[in-house]
Every structure is written in structure tokens, then in C-alpha cells.
A and B are shown apart, each in its own frame.
Chain A
Amino acid sequence: MNAKPAISVVVALIALMLALTAPCWSADAKYPTKPIHMWVGFAAGGSTDICARSVSAIAEKSLGQPIVVENKPGGGGALLLGLLASATPDGYTLATTSDTPYTRAPHLINVKYNSMEDFTPIVRLGLQRQGIVVRADSPFKKWQDLIDFARKNPGQLTYGTPGPGTTPHLAMEKIAIQEKVRFQHIPFQGDTPAMTALLGGHVMAASTGALGWMQHVKAGSLRLLLIIESEGMEGMPDVPTFKKVGYGFETPTAQMISAPKRAPKPIIDKLIAVFSEAMMTPQFQKVARDQELLSVKPLAGADFQKWLQSQYNMYGTFIKEVGLQKEAK
């Protein structure tokens, strides 16, 4: 026996690796004439990734070219926007992220882009539902019980969040200011670890995205006390919203698609049309419901840019108000 079969196996493995990682190249003509790259600012399997993949799978049919989804996670989406800012604006590189690197990250860390100048937002896919939950056996039967406890026991109410500076965290800190109470924040890394800690009784409440708690609320092991938005929730008419308990603010998180600035207008218009249409298909609407995305109607173009700018300004004020530190220059 000699080493030949082993070498041929190795060669086959290299071929497989190249096939798995190779980008696709082709000539230029009428848009789109080659595959489009959809970068995702978060890891595979997460909410942003699922939205990106399902909307791309629908949109590529009307575009007539495949959309290749690539995950480029890092810095809560800030890494991706840094890359996108310097990508060729030819409509072949798009990005799906949450609005975090647009509206909040620039107030907290030194990012390598100007979130309001360097990009063309294409479409907002929806807003992530959020809420504050406690365990089913908790003495807090309604929202006011929790506030009363916090007022009598300053700093004793522990609550988990998906991390510092996330919207569910900002919501709780704003509430604390408005109600003049003090909570003890325990940051976790993502919705799931925060939910695990709540289920195990290690924290008294948790403020996270609905994906974390919806199953447990339905199964009866957690109780939803408050919805962090002005609209109520389907199937849960008794749960109060921010508006109902008198909080005059909201802390939304959006999922969105954007492109580098200066992409030709006809291309942007085509992308807006195609993705808006893809969003309204029953397939995507189902994904959105499963992902607890709210108000799934397309927000695009100038209206979308205006909304982003207002969110950017609002979170800038919020973050200063609740006293979060920004990274030193």
C-alpha cells in the first residue's frame, strides 16, 4: 500500500472546504446579474439570522439571483456596520441587523462608522416584542405589586436582562427613574441565560425579548406582568402595556435591512420593492409571528430614515439619563 488513497481523500476534503467557503464571482450587467451577499450582524440561529434567511429566501425568487447569507457577528452588530460602511455600494452587499448598532451602539462605544450618514436603510422588518416577567409562584400578581415591593425595599428587587445597554435594560432603568425606586440589575448574556436564572429563582424578575419567555408564559411557569410597548398582545388582553400603566415612553428594538451609502437609486428602489413584497408574504408573516415580531408592515425609504434618526436621538437622551457610561476615546 502507498499513500495515494490518503492523498486523494485529503484533496477531496480541500475541495469540500473550498466549496463550503468560496464566494461566487461573475460579470456585471443589469442588476442583479450575480449572487447578492446578505451579511448578518449576529450569529446563525438567532432572531436576526432567522429573519434574514427567511426574507432572503423569498426575495431571491423575485430578484432571479441567489442571496448568499453570511454571518459576520461581533460587537452587537457594530463590526458588521464597520465593514458595510466600506463595502462597494453596488447593491451586491446588503446587511441585516437589529437597529442596535444604528441607534444605541454609537452612544455607548467608539464605532468606526457614522450610523446616520454612512448607510441607506432599505426596510424595517419589524419590532421585537419585549416584556417583564416573574415566576408563576411569585408574590407579584400584577405590575403594581412589583413597584410597591421595590418602593418598600430599595435595591432589593433583582431583575435579569439580556445585557447592559439593551432595550429591556434601558426600559427598567427609565421606569426606576419615573417611579423613583431602585432596582438591582443583574446583566446576563442574551435572553436565554436571563430566563434560565429567572426559572431557577435566582433573580426575582426578568426584562427580556418575548422569544425568551413566550413558551413559558403559555406553559404557565412564568407570569407576564407588563408589555414594554403601547400596543397590547394578541391572546393576552389582560396584560397591561406601558401606555396603560402611564409610562410615556417606549424602547423598541427593530430588525432591519440596509445597504452602503451611495448605491444607485434604481437599485435601492428595486430592493425596497422586492423586500417589502417579500415581507408581506404569508411565509414571512408566519416567521415574524414565531419570532414575536410586531407591526410587520414595511417601513422603507425616507420614512424609515426619519424613524431611525428619531430613535438615535431618543436613545442618546435615554442613555445619558439612566447614567450609562460611554467608552473613553
Chain B
Amino acid sequence: MEIFSGILQGFTTSLSITNLVYCFIGVFIGTLIGVLPGIGPVGTISLLLPATFRVEPVSAIIMMAGIYYGAMYGGSTTSILVNIPGEAASVVTCLDGYQMARKGRAGAALGISAFGSFIAGTVGVVALMFLAYPLAKLALNFGPPEYFALMCLGLAILTYLARGSMLKALSMALVGLLLSFIGIDGITGLPRFTMGMVHLMDGVGLVPIAMGLFGISEVLLNLEEVVRRDVFATEIKGLLPNREEWRRSKWPIVRGTIIGFFLGILPGGGAVISSFISYGVEKKLSKTPEKFGTGMIEGVAGPESANNAAVGGAFIPLFTLGIPANVTMAVLLGALMIHGLTPGPMLLKEHPEVFWGTVTSMYMGNVMLLALNLPLIGLWVKVLKIPYGILFPLIILFCLIGAYSINNTAFDIGVMVIFGLIGYLMKKFDYEGAPLLLAFVLGPMMEQALRQSLLLSHGSFAIFFTRPISAVAMGLAVALILSYFLPFLRRKRPNLEEDSV
């Protein structure tokens, strides 16, 4: 019953005119910065932080939370339209979303990601309301061995991410892992592969790599093929998903929501990994996995739902334990503290209006986002009609500003340009960017968790198999990999028999 009085109190707070206005400002800014590649919620929230000093704490938090989940809505837009991920969590949306746009289904792709985001976002909020406290305890069961096993499972997903040659996909994953080694070694504190460059001490940024590999390379590739222009000019049939597309998206949205919410709770995991895993799951379950990467709506619906559900999940450790699950949450934690609130076990006791007010405002915010985003689809689709001579320089300009704004350094622009060239060559030789990025995201956490685990176990690998959660995740990872390679083995067997005969 305590929950219901809390929810009631929350709605009284969040439904006040002032808070509704702040919520709207938040989701509106969030949508904008989500659309703009590079400029993410982290930078925006920290820029707006001083402006909220004179505002009621709960209103400030409502607005900043709105920026965060608003960005998750907007992030898919550029992925779908021009193959440039607006946020790291929308990288995987490029794979099929962009292809849908090329086939004249940009509206459907944008529509399904808006609806998927709405459904997942709303379910995530409801789950956050009822499950926050029990789940917070569950998240604590994840120690270094569990994280390592989970990361192995994530890498095993790789076998489903690859479209063409498995060998090429694995080699790209290795490149991703190698790239993730750059920077300060988390165990010894010594810099690795930095070539004496201080900029490389914290490693290479994910966003400049993603913008380069996907966006810049796409622009370069299109420069050669002016004729293909008419692919985009094909008439855009209907702005919203049709009945068939809805039928195909239904279950991916449900699965994406569940995956996103649970991975969102885990510190470090969150939106990016859950979007990759959702994509892998949809491809695995699909009857036509070979069609993924050519414009399958399942490959948009699942990941876009997952990254929005992850938002609800990410608030759980922040509000209940004071543990930020990702960088954006860390900035929000700082914002709460500036307003004199310390997130953690005492927050619900001392400031219930902040907890319930913010959570219930997210419900309103999701409704606003849907209302805001659906009419915009028509406008976004028209972006595709802008002549290439204007569109391409604009894309490059957005990417340059976006890359600079991440850390206020021109170094990231260089990284983006270099990876743009690499991405161009990769596309020419049929190497895929997605496995590289997945491995790059998982790499640092995986390495840190592996070495921490071995320090804990004094060097024994048994630690990964004696703890139940990690044993299950490891088992799943092995099963995933075997299920990929078994068909090969079976297919080869008859040949062997023939040979022996």
C-alpha cells in the first residue's frame, strides 16, 4: 500500500503545471540533442546544470531525466535517415534502419522506433515503480566474475551480428578489442598503447569511432555513386508502420523491453549493450536471419525498445543505492547533490517527493515524446529529399561539431575522420563495423572484470563456474557459440564419411 500512496504523491508533484513544463522542456531538448550526432545527454545536462540552481530540486531532476530519455527517442533518427548514430545506443539501429530508409520505409522505421520507445519507456517506468527495491539488491549480486561471464555472453552475441563472413566479423571484433586496450590499465595504473599522447590515456572515444565508421564513411561512399541518388527518391509509401510491420515488430518490442530493463539495472551495462543483445536475439529467433542488415523492421523495433527500457532500469541503482549505472546517471547524481539531495538508501525516506515525482513524471514524459515525435516523422523524411550537395556538407558539419563537443577537444575530430577513412575501406572490402563496436564497448569491462576476478580467486579460473549467475551466463555463451558452429560440423561429416569410404 505504501507504493500506491507514493505513486499518488508522485503524480500530485509531477502533474503540477510547473513540473509539466519542466518535463516538456526536458524531453524537447532531449529529442533535439538525440537527433544531433555527438552531442549527448551528458554534455547537455552538465551545460544546463547551473541554470537549474534556482529551480526546485524535483523540477530540475524531472527536466534532466527528460533530457536523458528524450535523447534515447531522438537518437534513432539520424541512424535511420543518414546512417549516423545520434547516440551510442542507436549504433545498432543503423544496420537495418538505414536500409529501410533506402527502400522508402524511413517513415515506418522512425514510427516503429517511436512506438517501441514509448511502449518500452512506459513499461520501464511501471517496472521501476514496483520493482526498484527488490531489483536493486539483485544487481549487487553481480561481482567481477558475473560481469565477466555477462560480457562473454555479449561477445557470443557477435556470432549473430555478422552478416557476411564469420572470419571477417571475428577479425573486426579482435580489432575492436585491441582498440579497447588503449589507455590507462585499470589494474596497474600504467598507460598502454598511448604512444606518449595524453589524449589517449582515457582510451579512444566510442562516439567518434561510431560516427566515423558509420556516418563519415557513408558520405564518402555515396560521393562515388551519384547515380544511386534515385534509391532515396523512391516514393515514400505511408509515414507510419503498416499492419504487417506491426505484426512483425510486436514480439521484438516485448523482448527488447525485457532485455533493456534488466541490463539497464546493471552498472556499466545499460543501453548500448542491451541494444546489441536485442538485435542478436531477434536475428537468432528470426526465420530469415540472412535478411538482417537489408532492412528488417525487427532489427529496429527490438534495439530501440531495449535502449529506452534501459533508461527505467538505470534509475534503480541511482535512486536506491546511490550508484550511477552509466555516465549520464553519474551526471544526474552530481545534479542531485548540487541540489542538496544525496541519492541512496536514504533518499526515499528523506525525500519521497523527489523519487516518486521523478518516476511518475517519466510516465508523462513518454506520452509527450510520442506526441512530439510522431508529427516530426513527416519532417524528418523530407530531410532525405535535400539535394546531396547540401545534405552531405551539413552531415559532415554536424559530425565535426558533435565530435568536438564530447570532450571539448579537436583530438576527437581527428579520431572521427581517421575512422571515417577506415570505415570507407571496410565497406569497400565488406568488413562490418558492428562487431568492431560491440567488442570495443565490451572490451574494457571484460578485461577489468577478468583481472579483478582472478585477483579475487588468487589465479583460479574456477571462480567463473562455481558461482551460480556466472556459471549460467558462461553456459549460455558456450551454447550460443556451439549452436553457430554445430551446423558446420554436421555438414562436414558426410564428406568425411565419403572420404573414408
Chain A residues within CB distance 8 Å of chain B:
1-3, 5-7, 9-10, 13-14, 16-18, 20-21, 43-46, 49-50, 53-54, 57, 69-76, 78-79, 82, 108-112, 155, 158, 163-165, 184-189, 192-193, 195-197, 199-203, 214-216, 218-219, 221, 286-287, 290-291, 324-325, 327
Q: Residue on B with the closest CB to A16?
A: B32
Q: Residue on B with the closest CB to A155?
A: B458
Q: Point out the residues of chain A lying under 8 angstroms from B39, CB to CB.
A: 17, 20
Distance, CA A163 to CA B190, complexed state (A): 11
Given contacts A49-B334, A193-B267, whether A3 and B405 have CB atoms under 8 Å apart is no
Minimal beta-carbon separation of B216 from chain A (angstroms): 17
What would be 16 A-B contacts, judged by CB atoms less than 8 Å apart?
A1-B382, A6-B385, A7-B386, A20-B39, A45-B45, A45-B330, A71-B46, A72-B409, A73-B407, A74-B201, A188-B448, A193-B268, A196-B140, A200-B140, A219-B346, A325-B190
Q: Which of B441-461 contact A (CB under 8 A)?
A: 448, 452, 455-456, 458
Q: Do A69 and B345 have beta carbons less than 8 Å apart?
A: no
Q: Do A6 and B267 have beta carbons less than 8 Å apart?
A: no
In-complex Cβ contact of B46 among A18, A45, A78, A82 (8 A): A45
Q: Point out the residues of chain A lying under 8 angstroms from B190, CB to CB.
A: 108-109, 325, 327
Cβ-based interface call for B186 (8 A): yes
Q: Do B143 and A200 have beta carbons less than 8 Å apart?
A: yes
Given contacts A16-B32, A50-B334, A109-B190, whether A9 and B379 have CB atoms under 8 Å apart is yes
Q: Point out the residues of chain A lying under 8 angstroms from B333, CB to CB.
A: 45
Q: Point out the residues of chain A lying under 8 angstroms from B387, CB to CB.
A: 3
Distance, CA A72 to CA B404, complexed state (A): 11
Distance, CA A209 to CA B345, complexed state (A): 18
Q: Point out the residues of chain B lying under 8 angstroms from A290, CB to CB.
A: 337, 340, 342
In-complex Cβ contact of A218 among B202, B346, B408 (8 A): B346
Q: Do B321 and A21 have beta carbons less than 8 Å apart?
A: no
The interface stretch among B47-55, B99-107, B161-169 is B47-55
Given contacts A158-B456, A192-B324, whether A21 and B401 have CB atoms under 8 Å apart is yes
A-B contacts besides A54-B338, A75-B202, A200-B141, 15 pairs, CB < 8 Å: A2-B385, A6-B385, A7-B390, A14-B398, A16-B32, A43-B327, A44-B42, A45-B331, A46-B330, A49-B46, A72-B407, A72-B409, A74-B198, A215-B346, A327-B190
In-complex Cβ contact of A45 among B198, B334, B380, B398 (8 A): B334
Minimal beta-carbon separation of A220 from chain B (angstroms): 9
Instruction: Give me the 7 closest cross-chain CB pairs, A-B, nearest first.
Output: A45-B334, A44-B46, A202-B143, A164-B189, A215-B344, A75-B201, A45-B331
Q: Do B46 and A195 have beta carbons less than 8 Å apart?
A: no
Q: Residue on B with the closest CB to A218?
A: B346
Cβ-based interface call for B335 (8 A): yes
Q: Point out the residues of chain A lying under 8 angstroms from B327, CB to CB.
A: 43
Q: Residue on B with the closest CB to A21?
A: B405
Q: Which of B130-144 contact A (CB under 8 A)?
A: 140-144
Q: Point out the residues of chain A lying under 8 angstroms from B144, CB to CB.
A: 186, 197, 202
Q: Residue on B with the closest CB to A190?
A: B330
Q: Point out the residues of chain A lying under 8 angstroms from B343, CB to CB.
A: 215
In-complex Cβ contact of A13 among B35, B46, B267 (8 A): B35
In-complex Cβ contact of A78 among B143, B198, B321 (8 A): B198
In-complex Cβ contact of A43 among B50, B330, B390 (8 A): B330
In-complex Cβ contact of A164 among B43, B188, B268 (8 A): B188
Cβ-based interface call for B418 (8 A): no
Q: Do A46 and B334 have beta carbons less than 8 Å apart?
A: yes
Q: Do A221 and B189 have beta carbons less than 8 Å apart?
A: no
Q: Point out the residues of chain A lying under 8 angstroms from B231, CB to CB.
A: none
Minimal beta-carbon separation of B198 from chain A (angstroms): 5
Q: Residue on A with the closest CB to B53?
A: A57
Q: Which of B267-316 contact A (CB under 8 A)?
A: 267-268
Q: Do A14 and B390 have beta carbons less than 8 Å apart?
A: no
Given contacts A3-B382, A112-B198, A215-B346, whether A192 and B331 have CB atoms under 8 Å apart is no
Tell me the count of chain B residues lying within 8 A, CB to CB, of chain A. Answer: 75
Distance, CA A5 to CA B190, complexed state (A): 52
Q: Do B189 and A20 have beta carbons less than 8 Å apart?
A: no
Distance, CA A50 to CA B268, complexed state (A): 22
Distance, CA A325 to CA B32, complexed state (A): 46
Cβ-based interface call for B478 (8 A): no
Cβ-based interface call for B322 (8 A): yes
Distance, CA A14 to CA B322, complexed state (A): 36
Cβ-based interface call for B394 (8 A): yes
Distance, CA A255 to CA B333, complexed state (A): 19
Cβ-based interface call for B486 (8 A): no
Minimal beta-carbon separation of A170 from chain B (angstroms): 11
Cβ-based interface call for B397 (8 A): yes
- Give B26-61 as 1s and 0s: 1 = Cβ < 8 Å from A's Cβ atoms: 000000100110010011111101100100000000
In-complex Cβ contact of A219 among B43, B345, B390, B409 (8 A): B345
Minimal beta-carbon separation of A171 from chain B (angstroms): 15
Q: Which of B38-86 contact A (CB under 8 A)?
A: 39, 42-47, 49-50, 53
Distance, CA A193 to CA B184, complexed state (A): 17
Q: Point out the residues of chain A lying under 8 angstroms from B47, CB to CB.
A: 20
Minimal beta-carbon separation of B463 from chain A (angstroms): 11
Cβ-based interface call for B10 (8 A): no
Q: Do A6 and B386 have beta carbons less than 8 Å apart?
A: yes
Q: Do B344 and A74 have beta carbons less than 8 Å apart?
A: no
Q: Residue on A with the closest CB to B38?
A: A17
Q: Point out the residues of chain B lying under 8 angstroms from A78, CB to CB.
A: 198, 201
Q: Do A75 and B198 have beta carbons less than 8 Å apart?
A: yes
Given contacts A18-B401, A197-B143, whether A45 and B323 have CB atoms under 8 Å apart is no
Q: Which of B107-141 contact A (CB under 8 A)?
A: 140-141
Q: Point out the residues of chain B lying under 8 angstroms from A158, CB to CB.
A: 455-456
Distance, CA A165 to CA B49, complexed state (A): 31
Q: Residue on B with the closest CB to A185?
A: B455
Minimal beta-carbon separation of B395 from chain A (angstroms): 10
Q: Do A109 and B186 have beta carbons less than 8 Å apart?
A: no
In-complex Cβ contact of B382 among A5, A20, A45 (8 A): A5
Q: Do A163 and B186 have beta carbons less than 8 Å apart?
A: yes
Distance, CA A54 to CA B378, complexed state (A): 43
Cβ-based interface call for B212 (8 A): no
Q: Do A73 and B202 have beta carbons less than 8 Å apart?
A: yes
Distance, CA A82 to CA B346, complexed state (A): 40
Q: Residue on A with the closest CB to B383?
A: A6
Distance, CA A200 to CA B402, complexed state (A): 38
Q: Do B334 and A324 have beta carbons less than 8 Å apart?
A: no
Distance, CA A32 to CA B191, complexed state (A): 39
Minimal beta-carbon separation of B268 from chain A (angstroms): 8
Q: Residue on A with the closest CB to B397?
A: A14
Cβ-based interface call for B487 (8 A): no
Q: Point out the residues of chain B lying under 8 angstroms from A50, CB to CB.
A: 334, 337-338
Q: Residue on A with the closest CB to B185?
A: A164
Q: Point out the residues of chain A lying under 8 angstroms from B405, CB to CB.
A: 17, 20-21
Q: Point out the residues of chain B lying under 8 angstroms from A187, CB to CB.
A: 186-187, 189, 452
Distance, CA A3 to CA B455, complexed state (A): 60
Q: Do A286 and B340 have beta carbons less than 8 Å apart?
A: yes
Cβ-based interface call for B196 (8 A): yes
Q: Do A70 and B408 have beta carbons less than 8 Å apart?
A: yes
Distance, CA A185 to CA B451, complexed state (A): 11
Q: Do A5 and B330 have beta carbons less than 8 Å apart?
A: no
In-complex Cβ contact of A215 among B35, B36, B186, B345 (8 A): B345
> Residue among A2, A45, A199, A201 with the most chain B CB within 10 A?
A45
